[in-house]
Amino acid sequence: MAGNEPKIDAEEILSGIREWIEIESPSDDAVAVNRMVDAAQAAMAGIGASIERTPGREGYGDVLKAKMPWAGAKEADGKGILVLSHLDTVHPIGTLKNINPFRREGDAVYGPGIYDMKGGAYLAYYALRHLVRSGRKTPLPVTFLFVPEEEVGSPTSRAAIEAAARNAKYVLVTEPARDGGKIVTGRKGAARFDLTVKGRASHAGLRHQDGRSAVKELAHQILAIEGMTDYARGITTSVGTIAGGTGINVVPAEARAGVDMRFPTQAVCDEMLARIHALKPVGPDTSLSIDSRVTRPPYQKFDGIQKLFDHAKSLAKDIGFELGEVTQTGGGSDGNFTGAMGIPTLDGLGVDGRGAHAVDEQLYYSSLEPRAKLMLRLLETLE
């Protein structure tokens, strides 16, 4: 470290992360998310980034794009580095106070969204800020994109993500690390299904025989769908929500279920979509309708990702740690979109920890300094 250049300071990083997690921002609360967007905007503007903020829609928060006004001479046909982060969490307002308050216990630091992914979002900002205050610039243009609803599939920000990615040579995603600090070089795709079963209502005591239970029919369909899970092929089909009926003494005329599916390739996705849409009612006088949508395309590691990972691994070795990878994780991220576009994408560059979406969500303090250094070195060495 030369002269009076500031050092990477884990305490300083944690202090900033704490400020961000104390702004609770569940995906479905646009006002709350926009308070977090305000904080990110102030941080990025404070280091000289130009700001473009797009108002939210469909009940979600705003999309924030921040671009540094400087770059070195090597600009790769004008394309640069895109850093992708989300500012929403799965935790409702009050989690910080009542369930998972900010606290440090040894190496574990707790708080809602601290691991997934405010820790990583702040870490990347901190690395860029470190470059600025050190008086250095990156060889490539750097753009940060903060989205407000990744936890529900990025329905309103996907177009902005893909548009920004078209101007990127590399994409760095600040989702949390996996399995003890590994980064992600491939992800399964995700799809959602909404099943609606209709039967016929009747009095459950007086004329039970006249009814056609939609709940009973749905039970058959649930077993069929869950039975499609195939771990050996990387396929999971999970019925996550069910609803139906109007009263305990009424044979239910309607029932519904929501299904999550994860798959390794587009070919497998097409196969599974066909299988689920081919489901037929088991019982008489019932009907089944299925709506489906692919929420995130899969991406597998290709040569560009391999080269990017090899570079990151070399940087990590110089910093002093071994960088591993996960090549087919089931969790979705905005990296699915950019990886599927064929743009070299490194995901899982955020903090290490555990408990994503859980009531004991936590980051590991020991990961802050080395992960910040890795992000810093990626920003200043990618060309």
Concatenating the DSSP letter of every residue in 283-342 gives STT-EEEEEEEEEE--B---HHHHHHHHHHHHHHHHHT----EESSBS---THHHHHHTT
- Helical H runs in 188-302? 214-226, 266-277
State the pLDDT at residue 248: 97
Q: Are 160 and 85 in contact (CB under 8 A)?
A: no
**Mean pLDDT, residues 355-360 taken together:** 96
pTM score:
0.91
Q: What is the pLDDT of residues 115-170, one digit of tens each?
A: 999 999 999 999 999 999 999 999 999 999 999 999 999 999 999 999 999 999 99
pLDDT digits (tens, 9 = 90+) for 175-217: 999 999 999 999 999 999 999 999 999 999 999 999 999 999 9
Q: 180 is written with which tokens?
A: 């003890």
What tokens appear for 259 in the block? 């299904």
**Cα angle 24, 26, 29; round to 5:** 105
Domains of the chain as residue ranges with CATH: 10-187+299-381 (3.40.630.10), 189-296 (3.30.70.360)
Question: Residue range 218-238: average pLDDT?
Answer: 98
Distance CA 371, CA 181 (A): 9
Amino acid at 284: P
